[in-house]
């Protein structure tokens, strides 16, 4: 028993050390070595892991657009305000949210629930199915002007007077929710790329209209960020990492 425990503890410690090493070595790199070999398959492997990222209600309302060809990559780099992190990258990946796909994703999850709870009529199975067939459509169904969201806000306010209630139910709140999920995926991707021996830089400074047009995205899609990939040059890391003190941001309750 003790041998098994010790062996498991040793493995856990090794895994923790590996993860700690990845997080400490990951930096936002602003300039890449364009003479270094680059394995584009590493990006494919990292994105496969990225799809496993946690996301709101398992709706997976995201897409990951790889820009590999020289012409499109340099065009997109110019739309990223000509940042070195974009101009010198071997590949650019746009993290995109797709709110317009909510119906098919809700149906996908509902079907999964039916299969998982086949033959069951208990409250748990009914509640799970109701979540995707009733609650998700109620939250995600939005009109152009967000009026449905205002109605949901009012309902949430009145119900919340007497019991705990989710308050983030407007169209804008759903938008924030989707970008949260996309950002979680982006962090998974950057960590996975570091595990492959490559570097990344997340960029928010870009012309979203031109970038969406280049990628053939519909108007209702939104780009959360564009991540550049490559092998770092020493001058590509702009100085030592600086963070505020832990006591200023970590609190116990």
The pLDDT > 90 percentage for the chain reads 90
pLDDT of residue 155: 92
pLDDT of residue 7 exceeding 70:
yes
pTM, two decimal places: 0.94
Decide if 101 contacts 140 (C-beta within 8 A). Answer: no
pLDDT of residue 34: 94
Q: How far is CA 96 from CA 1, 9, 16, 29, 56, in A?
A: 48, 39, 31, 21, 15
Nearest-angstrom CA–CA distance, 183 and 22: 18
Residues in CB range of 173: below 8 A, 6 or more apart: 149
- Measuring CA to CA, which residue among 146, 167, 145, 164 is closest to residue 156? 167
- Give residue-wise pLDDT tens across range 176-226: 999 999 999 999 999 999 999 999 999 999 999 999 999 999 999 999 999
The stretch 82-97 carries a mean pLDDT of 98
The stretch 218-235 carries a mean pLDDT of 97
Decide if 220 contacts 61 (C-beta within 8 A). Answer: no
Nearest-angstrom CA–CA distance, 171 and 196: 38
Residue with tokens 């938008």: 175
Domains of the chain with CATH codes: 29-96+182-238 (3.40.109.10), 102-173 (no CATH)
Nearest-angstrom CA–CA distance, 107 and 133: 8
**Residue 170 pLDDT class (50, 70, 90 cuts):** very high
**Residue 1 pLDDT class (50, 70, 90 cuts):** low
Nearest-angstrom CA–CA distance, 208 and 215: 10
**Residue 3 pLDDT class (50, 70, 90 cuts):** confident
pLDDT of residue 241 exceeding 70:
yes
Nearest-angstrom CA–CA distance, 55 and 224: 14
Cβ-based neighbour number of residue 177 at 10 Å: 21
- Give residue-wise pLDDT tens across range 115-159: 999 888 889 989 999 999 999 999 999 999 999 999 999 999 999
Burial 83-94 (b: 16+ CB within 10 A, else e): bbbbbbbbbbbb
């Amino acid at each position: 028993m003790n041998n098994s425990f010790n062996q498991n503890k040793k493995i856990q410690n090794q895994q923790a050390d590996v993860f700690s090493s990845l997080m400490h070595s990951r930096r936002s790199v602003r300039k890449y070595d364009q003479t270094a070999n680059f394995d584009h398959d590493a990006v494919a492997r990292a994105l496969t892991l990225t799809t496993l990222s946690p996301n709101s209600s398992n709706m997976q309302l995201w897409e990951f657009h790889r820009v590999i060809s020289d012409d499109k990559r340099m065009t997109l780099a110019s739309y990223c305000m000509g940042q070195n992190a974009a101009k010198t990258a071997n590949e650019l990946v746009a993290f995109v949210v797709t709110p317009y796909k909510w119906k098919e994703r809700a149906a996908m999850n509902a079907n999964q629930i039916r299969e998982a709870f086949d033959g069951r009529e208990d409250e748990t199975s009914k509640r799970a199915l109701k979540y995707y067939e009733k609650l998700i459509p109620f939250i995600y169904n939005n009109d152009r002007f967000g009026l449905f969201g205002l109605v949901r806000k009012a309902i949430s306010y009145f119900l919340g007077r007497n019991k705990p209630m989710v308050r983030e139910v407007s169209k804008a709140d759903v938008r924030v929710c989707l970008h949260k999920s996309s950002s979680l995926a982006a962090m998974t991707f950057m960590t996975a790329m570091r595990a492959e021996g490559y570097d990344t830089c997340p960029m928010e400074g870009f012309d979203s209209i031109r970038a969406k047009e280049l990628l053939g995205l519909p108007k209702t899609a939104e780009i959360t960020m564009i991540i550049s990939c490559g092998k770092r040059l020493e001058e590509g890391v702009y100085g030592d990492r600086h963070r505020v003190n832990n006591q200023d941001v970590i609190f116990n309750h």
